Structure 1
Amino acid sequence: MQEQANSVEQLLPHLFRQEYTKMTAVLCRHFGMKYIEIAEDIASDTFLKASENWAINGIPKNPAAWLYTVAKNKTKDHFKRAAIFENQVRNELIKGKLQEEQHFEFDSQQIADSQLAMIFAVCNPANSAEAQICLALQILCGFSVEEIANAFLAKPETIKKRLLRARANLRNDSFQLINLTEADIKSRIETVLKTLYLVFNEGYFSKTNDQLIRKDLCSEAVRLALVLLENPLTNTPKSNALLALMCYQSSRLDARISHTGEAIAYGQQDSRLWDQSLIDRGNYYLINAFDGPEISKYHLEAGIAYWHSTPADETKWQHILQLYDQLMITAYSPIIALNRTFALAKVHGYEKAISEAEKLDMNDSNYYHQLLGYLYADKDVEKAIHHYRLAIKMTRSKVEQQTLMKEIKRLSPSDQIYRNKGKQF
């Protein structure tokens, strides 16, 4: 019995992450976004019943099918006994605004269509970028409030308030989950791509030292991007470029952190740890991304990531710099300019890169000071250490702090201030 319970405990979290959001999407497509909380309750109750039933009766041969059958039955029961549905939703069902109860199914096409519609519903332009990311993590990826708070290094109460406001906008939105049209897609595709891009970046450039959450964020963004490619209306060059970027970046995740939890700079990464299968997938999607005349920021960033995933090419940094030059014109941002400076150092030397970096005057950015610390390391040790200390004060990531402290120790092993870092930092 104990062994059976352990098996259930191992399987359910995996199934929850994989099936909960699909189940919720189909239920919301059936009820409408106005009743999203009820859809989530039914999905949650389904998994609760699974944990109770499977621990006693064992795991069924097809666990996912078992879950969907229970969810379907719970939904039918809800229609019968919940007065709110009889009084407020039943009339809408009769009018045909939502699917009729007898046509309610969890088939593969329903799940695919519902997931895609849910992505577009959640990416509501009425919400801020941060709120959209939080909603996407909770509704599309099944993350708990605590997990989202950890990812943002924020208090759970802060995340709860953000989600409450965003959900209110979601319920009040007239966006339809049934029969997602080409016009619906065109009106929100840019917001959808940006949200998935930001979700991935929250994982890839995560401040948290929780490796599991970090990788989960990236894998969920990839999963949602794959949903876009499954529909002809959303399988666009931009969508392919974004997925190519995610694959290239994901391929180096295991090489970016040491077994002791320290961050490893790109130049020190063991390329043997790069996932070649993800690089190959990135190549496939990048080729598909050029099936048209448009070159977006996702194309350019995917191109940069491609060259980063190519370990032995003498001209790689020239190619990366050229792509950054184009990206500066297409989608300028201070962080893009800062990243370009690193490529500039590789091509034209650190002296020129320092001059370009200091023109940016990004004194409030820990990445700015990290870069200057790196660029000054062989030129002016005192300045390098100064910038590294500023970066340590500005970052909330313990991993980054430990890595920078180690770099300071490497540059100045006898530094008394470093030995008393607890008082300084």
Structure 2
Amino acid sequence: MKVQHQSHHELLPHLFRQEYAKMTAVLCRHFGLKHIEIAEDIASDTFLKASENWAINGIPENPTAWLYAVAKNKTKDYFKHVAVFETQVKEAIKPTEIEAENDVELSSQNISDSQLAMIFAVCNPTNSTEAQICLALQILCGFSVEEIASAFLTKTETIKKRLLRARANLRNDDFQIKSLSETAIKSRLDTVLKTLYLLFNEGYFSKTYRRQIRKDFCSEAIRLTLILTENPLTDTPQTNALLALMCFQGSRLEARTNDKGEAVLFDEQDRRLWDTTLIAKGNYFLVNACNNNEISKYHLEAGIAYWHTAPADQNKWQHILQLYNRLILVEYSPITALNRTFAFAKVYGHDKAITEAEKLQLTGNTYYHELLGYLYADTDLDKAIAHYEEAVRHTKSKTEKLTLIKEIARLKEKISH
């Protein structure tokens, strides 16, 4: 039986985003990170075969199972090629390991375990923290170089060089994916959390992808962070705070876009679409995160997200502004500064917020102009339109561009009347 309701051209890109990184993680347990390119080649060949086969024979009943079956067979074929084995792998792995690694286990549990093991393996002190995160985002999360550059507010060429050096260091270090000591796990946890944080953020508000929201990235980040809370070594206040943040933010995903895929501002969201189950889970993990005196950026951001989902409170925005004031001291970023200014506007009004915003001088930032467009909309339509037009020029997101153009048209119509 074949699945006919969707073309392979539509399905394959979706499956590639969801399964390529998972497949690579599992295969890397067999080849070791020194030979990560072999794992990536097999995963890539698997998807290439799918594109050729499905175009002729149609999509199989269980496309994901089909992909993993092909990957498993390709791995077996690889080990059968003695010449390739002799020249590329034999010197890198012990003879006792070869027999055990010949058969690839592709159960959902093994895939999950492999991904988590890969994150900790890639987050190796051999590389700088930035390089570790870049590598994890590319290998584990399927990020493109452009997406990583966007996450780090860095040029793509810089990221390319960083990734090349990081991969070379992993090959030279010649380590395998294996159980880590308690000390190693604890020393790498901060970098792992940062990686998962960036993975969720790219899903929550994609700056490079054609869709503004990528629910598959958000779900994956939540799933992997939840696994961390189930291990005593990684079930820390920071981990719980990050998971609380993801739950609160994830609860509003359905309300953040309309039927046309256009962004819906927070004030205009239909709260009936908010996921109350995720909000309850967010509350649970936030309580767990507060079992000692530790306050991290994840605690503060989770607190801000909590107040966004909390019932109406006349002091709501004051609470949010106070949290932003603390967050900006813990870790400054342009986005945090702009979000703080939005909260400032809610407390002190648009006129005072305009003064606060213009102090930032983030003239090359889409969200800077978008915020000023919003703040000027009630008092100076010409300035509001000018800032929205500037925001359009700076954004790479097609979805965001369409939303901004729609707002510009609305303001221009308001002027004509």
Corresponding residue for 1:389?
A: 389
Q: 1:259 to 1:77 in 2, by over 3 A?
A: closer
Q: Is the 8 A contact 1:115 1:227 kept in 2?
A: no
Moved more, 339-348 or 309-318: 309-318
User: For residues 17-416 of structure 1, what are the structure 2 equivalents within 5 Å?
Assistant: 20-44=20-44, 64=65, 71=71, 74-86=74-86, 89-94=89-94, 99-102=97-100, 106=105, 110-123=110-123, 126=127, 129=130, 132-133=133-134, 135-142=135-142, 166-208=166-208, 210-211=210-211, 214-413=214-413
Moved more, 9-18 or 360-369: 9-18
TM-score using structure 1 length: 0.79
Q: 1:303 to 1:86 in 2, by over 3 A?
A: same
Q: Whole-Å Cα distance in 1 between the matches of residues 162 and 374 of structure 2?
A: 37
C-alpha deviation, 1:81, in angstroms: 2.4
TM-superposition CA deviations, 1:221-243 (whole Å, max 9, x none): 22332333343322222122112
C-alpha deviation, 1:63, in angstroms: 7.1
C-alpha deviation, 1:373, in angstroms: 2.1
TM-superposition CA deviations, 1:31-52 (whole Å, max 9, x none): 2101112223344556677885
Q: Whole-Å Cα distance in 2 between the matches of residues 156 and 359 of structure 1?
A: 29
Q: Whole-Å Cα distance in 2 between the matches of residues 311 and 398 of structure 1?
A: 33
C-alpha deviation, 1:262, in angstroms: 2.4
Moved more, 371-380 or 291-300: 371-380
Q: Is the 8 A contact 1:242 1:299 kept in 2?
A: yes
Q: Whole-Å Cα distance in 1 between the matches of residues 214 and 225 of structure 2?
A: 17
Describe the SS at the equivalent of 1:262.
Answer: coil
Q: 1:128 to 1:82 in 2, by over 3 A?
A: farther
Describe the SS at the equivalent of 1:254.
Answer: helix
Q: Is the 8 A contact 2:205 2:213 kept in 1?
A: no
Describe the SS at the equivalent of 2:314.
Answer: coil
Q: Whole-Å Cα distance in 2 between the matches of residues 68 and 156 of structure 1?
A: 32
TM-score using structure 2 length: 0.80
Q: Is the 8 A contact 1:129 1:195 kept in 2?
A: no
Q: 1:155 to 1:74 in 2, by over 3 A?
A: same
C-alpha deviation, 1:308, in angstroms: 0.9
Corresponding residue for 1:420?
A: none
Structure 1 gap segments, 5+ residues each: 417-425
Q: Is the 8 A contact 2:4 2:58 kept in 1?
A: no
Aligned-pair identity (%): 65
Letter of the 2:316 partner, please give it: K
Q: Is the 8 A contact 1:151 1:213 kept in 2?
A: no
Q: Whole-Å Cα distance in 2 between the matches of residues 336 and 108 of structure 1?
A: 37
TM-superposition CA deviations, 1:281-314 (whole Å, max 9, x none): 2222222222333110011101101111125233
User: How well do the aligned residues superpose, as a CA RMSD in angstroms?
Assistant: 4.1
Q: Whole-Å Cα distance in 2 between the matches of residues 389 and 63 of structure 1?
A: 43
TM-superposition CA deviations, 1:139-167 (whole Å, max 9, x none): 22356789989999x99999888765553
Q: Is the 8 A contact 2:131 2:163 kept in 1?
A: no
TM-superposition CA deviations, 1:57-80 (whole Å, max 9, x none): 99689974x876765565444334
Q: 1:289 to 1:393 in 2, by over 3 A?
A: same
Q: Whole-Å Cα distance in 2 between the matches of residues 95 and 315 of structure 1?
A: 66
Structure 2 gap segments, 5+ residues each: none
Letter of the 2:226 partner, please give it: L
- Equivalenced residue count is 411
C-alpha deviation, 1:357, in angstroms: 2.1
Q: Whole-Å Cα distance in 2 between the matches of residues 382 and 14 of structure 1?
A: 42
TM-superposition CA deviations, 1:292-345 (whole Å, max 9, x none): 331100111011011111252332212211211221222233332221111122
Letter of the 1:325 partner, please give it: N
Q: Whole-Å Cα distance in 1 between the matches of residues 300 and 414 of structure 2?
A: 44
C-alpha deviation, 1:189, in angstroms: 1.8
Q: Whole-Å Cα distance in 2 between the matches of residues 112 and 250 of structure 1?
A: 21
Q: Whole-Å Cα distance in 2 between the matches of residues 270 and 363 of structure 1?
A: 32
Q: Is the 8 A contact 1:33 1:171 kept in 2?
A: yes
C-alpha deviation, 1:25, in angstroms: 2.0
Q: Is the 8 A contact 1:409 1:415 kept in 2?
A: no
Q: Whole-Å Cα distance in 1 between the matches of residues 373 and 138 of structure 2?
A: 37
Q: 1:288 to 1:105 in 2, by over 3 A?
A: farther
Q: 1:381 to 1:27 in 2, by over 3 A?
A: closer
Q: Is the 8 A contact 1:151 1:208 kept in 2?
A: no
